């Protein structure tokens, strides 16, 4: 990030005044297509898509050097089953059944990759049908669970990735996934975890995307308040069941070709269908541009939990603590862990600024190419959100006595650095 881009970003967030980015709005007319890496800079992406929180698709030129595009695909553009079997056949992978609805998702089982590929071959030979159903390999943590070959190179546009930087620091998890499945597999209507951004690259195959900007999903709720499972279902035409449907703009539709890379903005609901046998690499990520969205999401999640168990508020000992425990089991994170997430990223940025490193001096899979301007911007975003966290009544009920650094102390450090780097 250069100085001009940082100033542009800070001005953008001053105008928002703490409100989540990318609120209710009309669906854009189209998804921009980015043709050439040579003429598209990080600043172009940051100003044109990341800050405005709108989708775009990058051409296959951006991924042509990836190892997976050479090794995982046959000369005819199909999945290279034999290569995958040789290298990963004995790996246990998660598999969803697209033909079975479980709430607004699909039930999962685990199997060896070789067994899934055997199923996939049989599914193709059976005319894309099987008595076992339509099975989709989803959320395989290849990079976490094995010493993966040269699968991909993290695009610079997505290099400010706090979510994976945090989990890499803890060395216990990540949000990097492999998806693969036959034509007809699909992901139901959803928004990504924590209101994260995501990016998705088709190693082979084609996908059809349906996008709805933040707020549009409210018009898709049924008469009971539930969101749809499948936005292509004829049931949505029933005005008695979906009384607000007429107020929803048509989705933004996109067909993603092999090698292309889709940027999915924060809080955008979407549904995705594989039009061909497809393998994709997908990352969820959070940074200073959607941190306020993540914090807003967590507040909503806690309120939902509190409402569900409100009848026990006066009789359950440590009711507030139990709400945080329930929230973590449902959402994967609670207020305490969110603070630790902010703290780890803040400490890494403060260290960078203290050393006065130049651009490109941070190393690590989720921190490449981040220089002092990016670090100063990150610190300013953490300070703003942390101030809201510290002032939140429910966070004030969290026991922080064992924290290695008290939230108020960290906030003071950050605010001092924000002031000191204002003219950096």
Domain limits for position 329: 290-421
Quick one: 127 and 147 in the same domain?
Answer: yes
Encode the chain (424 residues) as per-residue pLDDT tens digits.
999 999 999 999 999 876 766 654 456 789 999 999 999 999 999 999 999 999 999 999 999 999 999 999 999 999 999 999 999 999 999 999 999 999 889 999 999 999 999 999 999 999 999 999 999 999 999 987 665 568 999 999 999 999 999 999 998 889 999 999 999 999 999 999 999 999 999 999 999 999 999 999 999 999 999 999 999 999 999 999 999 999 999 999 999 999 999 999 999 999 999 999 999 999 999 999 999 999 999 999 999 999 999 999 999 999 999 999 999 999 999 999 999 999 999 999 999 999 864 444 444 444 445 689 999 999 999 999 999 999 999 999 999 999 999 999 999 999 999 999 998 8
In a domain, residue 224? The reply is no
- Pair of tokens at residue 349: 């940025």
Phi, psi of 284 (to 5 degrees): -100, 145
Domain count of the chain? 2
In a domain, residue 14? The reply is no
Quick one: 408 and 303 in the same domain?
Answer: yes
Q: For residues 357 and 372, is the Cβ–Cβ distance under 8 A?
A: yes
> How many angstroms separate the CA atoms of 371 and 419, rounded?
18
Token pair 């553009």: residue: 77
Q: Which of 7, 56, 68, 37 is nearest to 279 (CA)?
A: 68
Task: Identify the three-state secondary structure at position 275.
Answer: coil
Quick one: 355 and 257 in the same domain?
Answer: no
In a domain, residue 229? The reply is no
DSSP character for 226? Answer: P
Q: What is the largest CA-CA distance in the chain?
A: 66
Question: According to the model, what pLDDT value does residue 361 have?
Answer: 42
In a domain, residue 401? The reply is yes
In a domain, residue 221? The reply is no
Quick one: 186 and 300 in the same domain?
Answer: no
Quick one: 275 and 304 in the same domain?
Answer: no
- CATH code of the domain covering residue 32: 2.60.120.650
Residue that terminates a domain, selected from 285, 309, 338: 285
Question: What's this model's pTM, rounded to 2 decimal places?
Answer: 0.93
Residue that terminates a domain, selected from 226, 258, 285: 285
403 to each of 21, 180, 361, 399, how far by Cα in Å?
30, 41, 30, 9
Quick one: 279 and 314 in the same domain?
Answer: no
Quick one: 56 and 171 in the same domain?
Answer: yes
Quick one: 323 and 269 in the same domain?
Answer: no
In a domain, residue 7? The reply is no
Quick one: 197 and 320 in the same domain?
Answer: no
Residue that terminates a domain, selected from 267, 285, 303: 285
In a domain, residue 232? The reply is no
Quick one: 104 and 59 in the same domain?
Answer: yes
Strand partners, 96: 108, 136
312 to each of 166, 305, 319, 396, 404, how far by Cα in Å?
35, 12, 8, 21, 32
Quick one: 265 and 333 in the same domain?
Answer: no
Quick one: 44 and 188 in the same domain?
Answer: yes
DSSP character for 73? Answer: B
Q: Count CB atoms within 10 A of the CB of residue 357.
A: 15
In a domain, residue 306? The reply is yes
């Amino acid at each position: 990030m250069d100085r001009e881009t940082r100033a542009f970003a800070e001005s953008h967030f001053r105008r928002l005044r703490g409100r989540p980015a990318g609120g209710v709005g009309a669906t854009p007319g189209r998804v921009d297509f980015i043709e050439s890496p040579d003429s598209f800079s990080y600043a172009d992406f940051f100003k044109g898509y990341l800050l405005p929180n709108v989708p775009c698709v990058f051409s296959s030129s951006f991924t042509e050097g990836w190892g997976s595009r050479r090794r995982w695909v046959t000369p005819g553009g199909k999945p290279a089953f034999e290569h995958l079997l040789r290298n990963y056949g004995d790996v246990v992978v998660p598999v969803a059944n697209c033909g079975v609805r479980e709430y607004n998702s699909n039930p999962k089982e685990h199997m060896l990759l070789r067994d899934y590929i055997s199923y996939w071959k049989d599914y193709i030979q059976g005319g894309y049908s099987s008595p076992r159903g339509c099975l989709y390999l989803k959320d395989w943590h290849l990079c976490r669970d094995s010493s993966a070959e040269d699968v991909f190179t993290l695009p610079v546009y997505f290099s400010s990735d706090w979510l994976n930087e945090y989990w890499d620091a803890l060395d216990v998890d990540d949000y990097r996934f492999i998806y693969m499945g036959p034509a007809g597999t699909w992901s139901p209507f959803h928004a990504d975890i924590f209101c994260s951004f995501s990016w998705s690259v088709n190693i082979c195959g084609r996908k059809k995307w349906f996008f709805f900007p933040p707020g549009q999903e409210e018009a898709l709720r049924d008469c009971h308040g539930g969101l749809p499972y499948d936005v292509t279902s004829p049931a949505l035409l029933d005005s008695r069941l979906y009384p607000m449907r007429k107020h929803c703009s048509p989705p933004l539709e996109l067909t993603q070709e092999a090698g292309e890379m889709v940027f999915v903005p924060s809080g955008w609901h979407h549904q995705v269908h594989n039009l061909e046998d497809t393998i994709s690499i997908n990352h969820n990520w959070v940074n200073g541009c959607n941190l306020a969205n993540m914090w807003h999401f967590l507040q909503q999640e806690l309120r939902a939990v509190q409402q569900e168990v409100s009848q026990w508020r006066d009789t359950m000992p440590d009711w507030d603590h139990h709400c945080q425990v329930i929230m973590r089991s449902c959402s994967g994170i609670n207020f305490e862990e969110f603070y630790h997430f902010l703290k780890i990223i803040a400490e890494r940025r403060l260290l960078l600024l203290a050393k006065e490193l130049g651009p490109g001096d941070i190393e690590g899979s989720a921190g490449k190419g981040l220089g002092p301007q990016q670090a100063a911007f990150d610190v300013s975003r953490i300070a703003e959100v942390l101030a809201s966290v510290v002032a939140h009544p429910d966070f004030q009920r969290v026991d922080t006595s064992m924290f290695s650094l008290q939230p108020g102390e960290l906030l003071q450090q950050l605010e001092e650095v924000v002031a000191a780097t204002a003219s950096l």
